[in-house]
Amino acid sequence: MTRIHNFSAGPAVLPESVLREAQEAIWEHGGHGIGILECSHRSAQFDAVIDSARARIKRLMNLSDSQHILFLHGGARTQFFMLPMNVLRGGRATYLDTGTWAEGAAKDARRYGTVDVPFSSKATGWDHVPATLDTPPEGTVYLHYTSNNTVAGTEFHHVPDVGVPLVCDMSSDIMSRPVDGSKFQFIYAGAQKNMGPSGVTLAILEDSWLERCDKDIPEMLQYGIHVKKESMYNTPCTFGIYVIERVTAWLEGLGGLEAIDRMNQSQADRVYGEIDRTGFWHGKAQLGSRSRMNITFTTGDADLDTRFHKEAAAAGLSGLKGHRSVGGLRASIYNAQTDAAVDALVAFMGDFEARNG
């Protein structure tokens, strides 16, 4: 069967070359005579995989030697409470309310300390991120922000610099552009958008925070335990980590994050160009906050939006329905999205407008 174009928000499109490598590795991997799904996480076979994944992530994200790279379970949502449970401990943190997931993270953090929310765009449908920020109150343990907001289709195009440790949920734009990862105290991201399949959460923790981490919470939730056990306190998601290693190898082969950034921007520009070409389509995010990863738009008519994503699916363009909480339309164009898919989408949008405008 011919593969269709996948615009799903996650789990999302993966590089074709990685899919083919994974297909072979399921049967036999690395000359070991068994597949990657079957090998022990304690074996030399898997040691090579996880060590390579860490090394590639460190290079791509410009991480320092003092930052620990962890592969965890539970999805990014587990980090909403695991982070403040470990490091907030009754203290004060600043959260920027730029979308559904940022709001959820702040809600969980309130269980463990005081949460200041100096910025929220909820009243306008989370259609923008802040351009500037004031310095957080004295004693603030960290500032938390979500770099890309999948539901609303907004993205930070700068790293906040406010004089306190930075925490970032990078789930939907991690490794989509150059980033100085060493600027962050903590980074976390679900794998299922830009790195691999669902089931793995990448966490990057600055070593200086280990002393702050609570030692009286269950061991499975202690970052220090996962650092000490090198992400093997319990059996990790071996196949997911294998795919992450292959995706990061693919990124390095393209020329790194500078190269993928150019590709991502080019694709986003083409879709936004079609949205802005006439008055038929309406972008949901404000211009300065538009996401390169999740492009949200609408015709302004719910019935027409439904017709669009249904006709698009019939034409081989899958996953264009907006998030269930907001409706409308959404095209997710993560790192592995192809130029052919973007060209097909733009052409279909033009055809749909001609027939319905």
Which residues are known catalytic residues?
A: 101, 169, 193
What sign does the dihedral 53-58-64-65 (CA atoms) show? positive
Which is nearest to 69 in space by CA: 82, 52, 85? 52
How far the first Cα of the chain sits from its last, in Å, is: 34
DSSP string, 97-142: E-SHHHHHHHHHHTTTSEEEEEEE-GGGTS----S--PPPPTTEEE
What sign does the dihedral 43-45-51-57 (CA atoms) show? negative
Query: CA geometry: angle at 132 spanning 111 and 265, to 5°?
Result: 100
Residue 308's H or E segment, with its range, is helix 302-314
- Taking the C-alpha atoms of residue 84 and residue 228, their distance in angstroms, rounded to an integer, is 20
